[in-house]
């Protein structure tokens, strides 16, 4: 089917799927944004004129950001708050590089669901604008720069072979991908049909980058960002090895790339997802993969808290995912023979939303800990303090924490 579509476009001289137009003039995108505008209006009207809380996932975040850039007044009129979940604001470079070169990342792990070869998938992806828009944004100041690395075969003047590791940053990497795909083709019914990197779509993607970078969020709209963490996420891709270097760039189409991973949701690096470019009310990282994050109970609790849905819980902290409930606070000061004494007693109940079934990072194991310190104060006065923390065993999702501190100030 994909081959037939490409044959039709090649024979008729058409631009497949209407791609390759200027971003702002694309009929396909204009129609999508118009439908989105009408949907916002209809929901606003149906709610009796109440502004909308908008929640997006993945590429939905980029679509909304484009909408804001082109229809800021409409967005401000209908939207109260926007929560973006796992949005690839600066791209998802690791997977996208291998997708364009040989379609591997979109087929690997999906063989049981798709009756499609990696080459058919690659042909489709080379004509898909959203793939190009997920290339690493070359204008973004990456802390961890995504690279395309290639072990290249090198011949010296005497004909002796050696291997040289070349590293290309995002803009250079695109040129290498372009060269690798320059002779890419499919053969169908005796026809040789070229399938290179689509430069029209690439230029379109660059315009999209510029549009997204210049987007300003209306001041009346509150923005929140939830991104995935704790999953190895492809970032840099390396082809070849020192023992088996690549002889020509065209051979990258048949080579298996090796990933260098960073933290993220398995698809989108956390660095990319956090870089929304807005003055966010809050950004929270959640341990979840790219698809599973929308099913996360923690994400549901965070969204519920931000939107003030249901019974309000003023003690819930989205960053730690705990409710820390103060149950006791007492402070007492008195004078004794050996000096002024200040004592503090404070108790908390830490309520874990996971009902205490498993111990997660940040939870406190049962323990008793004491700290004693002293120092020489003003005019030779000796100051001493001792604090004891008692963490009781967790019961039914609640953990009792006690802090007892005593400070003594001796006269000089």
Catalytic machinery residues:
58, 265, 290
Between CA 109 and CA 123 the distance in angstroms is 19
List C-alpha distances in Å: 401 to 34, 337, 407. Answer: 55, 32, 20
Length of the chain: 412
Q: Would you say 373 and 384 are in contact if contact means Cβ atoms under 8 Å apart?
A: yes
Between CA 270 and CA 284 the distance in angstroms is 10
């Amino acid at each position: 089917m994909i081959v037939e579509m490409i044959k039709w476009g090649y024979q008729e001289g058409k631009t497949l799927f209407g791609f390759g137009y200027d971003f702002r003039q694309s009929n396909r995108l204009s129609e999508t944004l118009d439908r989105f505008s009408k949907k916002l209006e209809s929901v606003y009207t149906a709610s009796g004129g109440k502004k909308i809380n908008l929640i997006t996932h993945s590429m939905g975040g980029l679509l909304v950001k484009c909408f804001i850039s082109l229809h800021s007044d409409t967005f401000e009129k209908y939207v109260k708050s926007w929560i973006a979940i796992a949005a690839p604001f600066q791209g998802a470079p690791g997977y996208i590089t291998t997708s364009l070169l040989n379609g591997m990342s979109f087929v690997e792990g999906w063989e049981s669901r798709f009756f499609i070869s990696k080459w058919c998938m690659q042909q489709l992806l080379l004509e898909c604008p959203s793939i190009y828009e997920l290339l690493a944004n070359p204008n973004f100041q990456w802390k961890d720069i995504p690279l395309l690395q290639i072990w290249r075969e090198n011949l010296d003047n005497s004909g002796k072979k050696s291997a040289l590791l070349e590293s290309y940053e995002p803009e250079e990497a695109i040129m290498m991908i372009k060269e690798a795909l320059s002779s890419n083709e499919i053969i169908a019914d005796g026809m040789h049909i070229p399938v290179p990197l689509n430069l029209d779509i690439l230029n379109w993607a660059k315009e999209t980058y510029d549009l997204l970078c210049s987007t300003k969020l209306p001041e009346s709209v509150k923005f929140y960002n939830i991104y995935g963490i704790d999953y190895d996420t492809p970032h840099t891709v390396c082809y070849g090895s020192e023992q088996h270097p690549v002889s020509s760039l065209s051979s990258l189409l048949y080579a298996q790339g090796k990933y260098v991973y960073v933290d993220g949701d398995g698809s989108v690096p956390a660095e990319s997802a956090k870089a929304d470019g807005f003055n966010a009310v809050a950004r929270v990282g959640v341990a979840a993969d790219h698809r599973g994050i929308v099913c996360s109970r923690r994400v549901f609790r965070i969204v519920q808290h931000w939107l003030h849905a249901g019974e309000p819980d003023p003690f819930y902290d989205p960053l730690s995912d705990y409710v820390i409930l103060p149950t006791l606070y007492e402070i007492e000061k008195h004078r004794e023979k050996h000096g002024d004494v200040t004592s503090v007693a404070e108790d908390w109940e830490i309520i874990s939303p996971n009902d205490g079934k498993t111990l997660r990072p940040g939870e406190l194991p049962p323990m008793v800990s004491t700290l004693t310190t002293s120092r020489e104060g003003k005019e030779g006065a000796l100051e001493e303090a001792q604090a004891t923390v008692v963490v009781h065993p967790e019961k039914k999702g609640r953990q009792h924490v006690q802090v007892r501190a005593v400070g003594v100030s001796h006269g000089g």
